[in-house]
Amino acid sequence: MVEVPDEILAGLVGPVAAALPRLVDRIPPAPAAELGRLRAVADEDLWPIREPAVRHSRAMAMAMARPARRPGSGHSPVRDALGSLPALLTERLLGALELTVAELDLTGAPDLTGFLPEPFTGNVGIASLNGQSEAVTGAVLLEQIRPGAVPLVVALTRRLASHPRLAPMLAVRPDLTDEAEVAAAHGAAQLSLAVATAVVVSHRTGIPPWATNPPAVLGVAIGTAALLLREIPMPANYAGAVLARARAEYLMPRRSTGSVQMSGHRFGLLEGDHVPEVDFDGNGLVTVVPGGAVIRTGAESGQVRLLLTVLDGPPPEVGPGWEEVVEVSWRAAAGGASVVGSGPAEPQLRRATPPWPGDYRLRVHARGRDDTDEPHNEYYELMIWQGPEAPEIVHARTDRLGHRLRGEPEPVRLERPETAYRWVRRSVLSEAATVTVTTGAAVGDVLRAFGADPARPESMRAIDEDLMRSQSIDPWVAVLDVGDAVIAVEYNGWQGSTAPVLSRASAGGRTASMYWNVNGVTRLSFAEHGEVLLSVEPFDNLEAPPALGTALADLDFGDHQRGKRLMGLVAVQRFTGHGITAEALARIEAADIAFRIVPDLPTLYPRRPQPDTTLGATIVALAGQPDALLGVTAGALTGLPEAELRDLAWWVAAEAARYAGLDDDPDVAASIAARALTDEAQLRARRSQLHDGEHRWLWLTLHRATNPDPVAAVTDTMEAARYAAGPHAANLVADARARITGADRR
């Protein structure tokens, strides 16, 4: 701390006092208000208002210059404070004050050279971030050129702020009631004092003029102001002003979702930050306390999710799915209650209730409190609205915890069928997998149905490591023979959800599968005697054939709390009579044997009709505009006889093979001659889809030429053939277009 004698301080007061009004007038209100709110933001004491406030950074140094500091140069609070401010705020203040600083006349200020150590005489190195403000760079340079100058600015600014002559000039007028005006007046006054002080120090301590340019002086001043504004109290009239603004801007209804860190089986909706210990033997869910209410949770600690709804009137009837619902009255002393727990409230849940006192009603909805082994199932909704004090209302009281807390006998509750599969959420299958169960087939038949070779077992771990190294998603499957059923598990695959696999696997009985991935996509499938009965993404309105009625009974796929993948596994078990268990998965893991899959070729789809118009130059086959690549009208193809379309599709395939240099390949030539993939070609075409597969586009060309729909055979074959032709694609497209237009004219 720099000690400055009173007589020196007295000599500074006059020049600084003369400069303050001029500086205050030049500072724009908006950036001044941002500075003026710094203490409120640091204390997290700013009511929710629509205008964004400066973030209080706990990692200030991230945005600052990195000077090559000399040993002993120490920490720089001013530099940290300056670097913590938004770059746009610093630039706006720099632009507003740069000319004024250059014009300030502080003649008469005393010499301050004696309060600084000897000037630094070595080399100075400064690392500047790309696009960094001149204010930041200049402040760092000044700090290096004249050590002690910046701490002197801070020390003098602190002392001058309390001087009897200057303190009244810095005080915010008590008649100001607008939050932005109070914050702006506070920020502008303190910044002006820091600027005037920084100008005096930079000119009266022997610093070279080239190091005291306006950006450097303002960098020090803005950093000093930010540092001190986080320390000094907000003006006395700020609390009332921000409350008035919050009340003026508060709109209803509003909904906020988030989570709260609980401990001791409780969290609260409170005007304070401390959640008291209370009893819940009244209703087993919520207890009213001064300024809010405390809610009893099932889990002892951790995070619990909730929805907070503030209404402008009484809520509708209680919706389904809640196990405990209690409605109580509480009185707000000031308003603005927050959802709090063992940690600070999330921003959207802080001071979320109406910012005015009065009587309120609170309806607490809870579910999942009994699922202590599945804490993510626990969920709450808090509904708040203004209303007169009224008796407590219990809308629902069905969970076991509530009965225990009320001293009542616990109800006998039937476990939902999907609870048997909750272990999946904690297993290696938690994020993505396909579980397929087949009856009426030997394990070898099931593997062959998947496209795997029973005679080629490999280590599961070795396969996984190989695919990780090659960054491949090639499919593989592990199986378990459980007597009268075979369980197949794909750890990150989906072949068991495809129609060809389902059809082949179910040829002698039944097959069902449940697929899910990390993106929340799921697919539930059933097949019997080679026919796929249903294969869909399961939603609440699941339309299924009568044969699946028993398998799907009481499974509400619209209730996401229950978990679609778990209910899907229940349906698989009901349909086949067998389901995967944790013990079965452990046996598969212990055996460490799996089989690589050669996947089926993509399903061929018929062409979807399009308007008879000339199409553009880009093919979008799956979007239903495959004629675009050929630059012809839709009618040009649909008007051709089927035989000509077949000839055209296989001509395109033959040309693609010629351009690819594979027209002499025996399997390619035989398939073109037969106009169908031979058995050998079929296998090679399937293998081409793997990570290290060869000639993928040519084999897809031949496959697409077999499409039963003749128009789709032409358009889809052409789409693949251009990739197979590679650098010759333009010639292939032009020749195909010529053949079509020539045939169209005949």
What string of DSSP letters covers 88-130?
A: HHHHHHHHHHHHHHHH---TTPPP-GGGS-PPP-S---EE--T
- Cα 621 to Cα 44, 313, 546, 701: the distances in Å are 55, 53, 35, 14
- Give the N- to C-terminal CA distance of the chain in Å, as an integer: 100
Same domain as 446, residue 396: no
State the pairing for strand pair 522-528/510-516.
antiparallel
Question: At 595, which amino acid appears?
Answer: F
User: How far is residue 615's CA from residue 630's CA, in Å, rounded to a whole number?
Assistant: 9
Q: Which residues contact 139 (CB under 8 A, 6 or more apart)?
A: 65, 78, 79, 82, 150, 216, 219, 220, 223
Same domain as 308, residue 207: no
Same domain as 235, residue 312: no
User: How far is residue 248's CA from residue 493's CA, in Å, rounded to a whole number?
Assistant: 55
Same domain as 130, residue 44: yes
Q: Which residues contact 264 (CB under 8 A, 6 or more apart)?
A: 275, 277, 300, 301, 342
Q: Which residues contact 742 (CB under 8 A, 6 or more apart)?
A: none
pLDDT of residue 540: 75
Residue 473: closest CA among 495, 496, 493: 493
Domain boundary (373, 405, 437) is at 405
Domain boundary (530, 562, 596) is at 596
Domain boundary (199, 215, 242) is at 242
289 within a domain of the structure (yes/no)? yes
Q: Which helix (H) or strand (E) holds 476?
A: strand 476-481
Same domain as 257, residue 238: no
User: How far is residue 335's CA from residue 338's CA, in Å, rounded to a whole number?
Assistant: 9
Which 8-state DSSP code applies to residue 606?
Answer: P
Mean pLDDT by 10 residues, the chain (746 residues): 80 92 96 94 74 42 37 69 92 94 84 76 52 83 86 93 95 95 97 95 83 91 96 94 92 94 94 93 96 95 94 92 95 94 88 94 95 81 96 95 95 84 92 97 97 97 94 96 97 95 97 95 96 92 89 85 88 97 96 97 80 36 47 69 94 96 96 96 96 95 96 93 95 90 62
Q: Which residue has the tokens 């959640």?
A: 275
601 within a domain of the structure (yes/no)? no
Same domain as 640, residue 567: no
Backbone angles phi and psi of 436, in degrees to 5: -125, 130
446 within a domain of the structure (yes/no)? yes
Half-sphere exposure of 384 (CA within 13 A, CB side): 30
Domain span including residue 739: 621-745
Same domain as 449, residue 340: no
Question: At 570, which amino acid appears?
Answer: V
Q: In this structure, what CATH number is given to the domain that contains residue 325?
A: 2.60.34.30
| Bridge partners (DSSP) listed for residue 401 | none
**401-413 residues labelled b (16+ CB within 10 A) or e (exposed):** bbbebeeeeeeee
Q: Which residues contact 370 (CB under 8 A, 6 or more apart)?
A: 298, 323, 399, 400, 401, 413
User: How far is residue 721's CA from residue 695's CA, in Å, rounded to a whole number?
Assistant: 11
Same domain as 375, residue 290: yes
Q: What angle do CA 635, 639, 640 make, to 5 degrees?
A: 130
Q: How many structural domains are present in the chain?
A: 4
User: How far is residue 462's CA from residue 474's CA, in Å, rounded to a whole number?
Assistant: 13
**CA 577 remoteness from chain centre:** 40
User: How far is residue 633's CA from residue 655's CA, in Å, rounded to a whole number?
Assistant: 23
411 within a domain of the structure (yes/no)? no
Please, are residues 85 and 226 in contact by the beta-carbon 8 Å criterion?
yes
State the pairing for strand pair 593-596/302-310.
unpaired
pLDDT of residue 616: 32
pLDDT of residue 575: 97
Please, are residues 505 and 441 in contact by the beta-carbon 8 Å criterion?
yes
Residue 379: closest CA among 518, 476, 474, 262: 262
Same domain as 500, residue 388: no
Same domain as 90, residue 216: yes
413 within a domain of the structure (yes/no)? no
Same domain as 378, residue 263: yes
Radius of gyration of the chain (CA): 38
pLDDT of residue 494: 96
User: How far is residue 57's CA from residue 48's CA, in Å, rounded to a whole number?
Assistant: 18
Same domain as 278, residue 195: no
State the pairing for strand pair 324-332/433-438.
unpaired
394 within a domain of the structure (yes/no)? yes
